[in-house]
């Protein structure tokens, strides 16, 4: 742990002193701007909750978007949900959302059960992947439970929601009524980039509809298998942060690290160091 913390401190100082990709310290609203960093629990999908809590401590992060994988935040039985919530609370970890939760069909009972799970866990946000057919039922439940849903884009392989702009086009159709404001987007920057979409531009265009962000980096912006630690690829991280500040984003930027699944922590430590350094260089606070 001492070695990793030393690495983080050194990396942050180096990045802040000379920002990569031309990012420079900014003025004006930067003095009060904050980007809250978190983790998507899928990054640790091979590890149980006890390990997840230890990893969060090493990362210096107390926010997590949980998923029903292993014992991270089980959907059933309810007692298992309660036990997980209690464990996170005891460790001082905040649950910022749950997901990705899939809604494959317009089955009201199925959708309601998943919303009830999120409510029981005290989640402030569902990161969801409804089909187009299920979306009206999801919207109905979002209103009934007063619980926002951020639809996650999954790239060019996804027939439902490849890009954040595909989601936005359905939520705010030209010439038609907009969907309820509790339905928004979780922008997965890697999947977004692979569709050829300008990530920072998509965030600005979606504005208040952006309810969640999954951060990752790619060495080849068209290749899913080219994921690297954040800062080692071509993702325009400074511009993404600038865009989030420009739209007044209040959610979290969750690192979703999907490589080196048997030993993800070194790459995640490096990713957090880079993100914190970029934020410092931009004059923003890393929450």
Distance between CA atoms of residues 256 and 63, nearest Å = 13
**pLDDT band for position 287 (50/70/90)?**
confident
Q: What is the CB neighbour count within 10 angstroms for residue 121?
A: 21
On whether residue 140 sits in a domain, the answer given is yes
Q: What is the pLDDT of residues 100-134, one digit of tens each?
A: 999 999 999 999 999 999 999 999 999 999 999 99
The domain that holds 74 is classified in CATH as 3.20.20.150
Q: What is the pLDDT of residues 21-72, one digit of tens each?
A: 333 344 345 557 999 999 999 999 999 999 999 999 999 999 999 999 999 9
Nearest to 84 by CA among 121, 113, 118, 42: 121
Per-residue three-class SS string for the chain: CHHHHHHHHHHHHHHHHCCHHHCCCCCHHHHCCEEEEEEEHHHHCCCCHHHHHHHHHHHCCCEEEECCCCCCCCCCCHHHHHHHHHHHHHCCCEEEEEEEEEECCCCHHHHHHHHHHHHHHCCCCEEEEECCCCHHHHHHHHHHHCCCEEEECCCCCCCCCCCHHHHHHHHCCCCCCCCCCCEEEEEEHHHHHHCCCCHHHHHHHHHHHEEEEEECEECCCCCHHHEECCCCCCCCHHHHHHHHHHCCCCCEEEECCCCCCCCCHHHHHHHHHHHHHHHHHHCCEEC
On whether residue 13 sits in a domain, the answer given is no
**pLDDT band for position 8 (50/70/90)?**
very low
On whether residue 250 sits in a domain, the answer given is yes
Nearest to 81 by CA among 45, 113, 112, 105: 113
**pLDDT band for position 176 (50/70/90)?**
confident
Distance between CA atoms of residues 60 and 104, nearest Å = 36
Residue 13: is its pLDDT beyond 80?
A: no
Q: What is the pLDDT of residues 235-267, one digit of tens each?
A: 999 999 999 999 999 999 999 999 999 999 999
**pLDDT band for position 14 (50/70/90)?**
very low
Give the pLDDT confidence score for residue 22 in this predicted structure.
36
Q: What is the mean pLDDT of the chain?
A: 91
Give the pLDDT confidence score for residue 32 in this predicted structure.
74
Give the pLDDT confidence score for residue 3 in this predicted structure.
41
Six-digit token string for 121: 């866990």
Residue 281: is its pLDDT beyond 50?
A: yes
Distance between CA atoms of residues 41 and 151, nearest Å = 17
Give the pLDDT confidence score for residue 120 in this predicted structure.
97
On whether residue 12 sits in a domain, the answer given is no
* Number of domains the chain is built from: 1
Domain span at 197: 34-286
On whether residue 7 sits in a domain, the answer given is no
Task: Write the CA distances from 250 to 153, 159, 185, 200, 241, integer angstroms.
Answer: 20, 29, 13, 16, 12
Six-digit token string for 24: 């420079």
Distance between CA atoms of residues 124 and 155, nearest Å = 25
Nearest to 264 by CA among 273, 255, 277, 254: 255
Nearest to 259 by CA among 223, 235, 229: 229
On whether residue 6 sits in a domain, the answer given is no
On whether residue 3 sits in a domain, the answer given is no
On whether residue 85 sits in a domain, the answer given is yes
Task: Say what the pTM is.
Answer: 0.89
Give the pLDDT confidence score for residue 31 in this predicted structure.
56
Q: Report the percent of the chain where pLDDT is more than 90.
A: 87
Residue 224: is its pLDDT beyond 50?
A: yes
Q: What is the CB neighbour count within 10 angstroms for residue 143?
A: 12
Q: What is the pLDDT of residues 23-35, one digit of tens each?
A: 334 434 555 799 9
**pLDDT band for position 283 (50/70/90)?**
very high
């Amino acid at each position: 742990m001492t070695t990793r913390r030393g690495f983080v401190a050194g990396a942050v100082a180096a990045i802040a002193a000379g920002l990569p990709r031309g990012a420079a310290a900014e003025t004006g609203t930067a003095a009060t701007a904050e980007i809250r960093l978190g983790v998507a629990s899928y990054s640790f999908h091979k590890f149980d909750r006890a390990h997840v809590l230890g990893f969060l401590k090493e990362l210096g992060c107390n926010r997590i978007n949980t998923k029903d994988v292993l014992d991270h935040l089980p959907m059933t039985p309810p007692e298992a949900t309660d036990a997980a919530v209690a464990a996170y609370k005891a460790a001082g970890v905040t649950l910022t959302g749950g997901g990705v939760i899939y809604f494959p069909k317009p089955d009201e009972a199925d959708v309601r059960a998943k919303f009830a799970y999120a409510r029981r866990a005290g989640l402030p946000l569902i990161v969801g992947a409804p089909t187009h057919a299920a979306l009206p039922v999801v919207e109905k439940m979002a209103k009934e439970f007063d619980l926002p849903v951020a639809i996650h884009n999954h790239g060019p392989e996804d027939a439902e929601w490849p890009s954040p702009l595909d989601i936005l086009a359905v939520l705010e159709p030209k010439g038609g009524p907009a969907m309820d404001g509790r339905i928004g987007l979780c922008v997965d920057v890697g999947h977004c980039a692979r569709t050829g979409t300008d990530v920072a531009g998509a965030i600005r265009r979606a504005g208040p509809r952006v309810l969640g962000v999954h951060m990752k980096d790619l060495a080849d912006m068209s290749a899913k298998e080219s994921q690297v630690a954040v800062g080692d690829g071509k993702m325009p991280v400074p511009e993404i942060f600038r865009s989030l500040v420009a739209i007044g984003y209040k959610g979290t930027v969750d690192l979703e690290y999907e490589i080196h699944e048997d030993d993800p922590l070194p790459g995640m430590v490096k990713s957090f160091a880079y993100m914190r350094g970029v934020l410092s260089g931009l004059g923003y606070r890393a929450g």
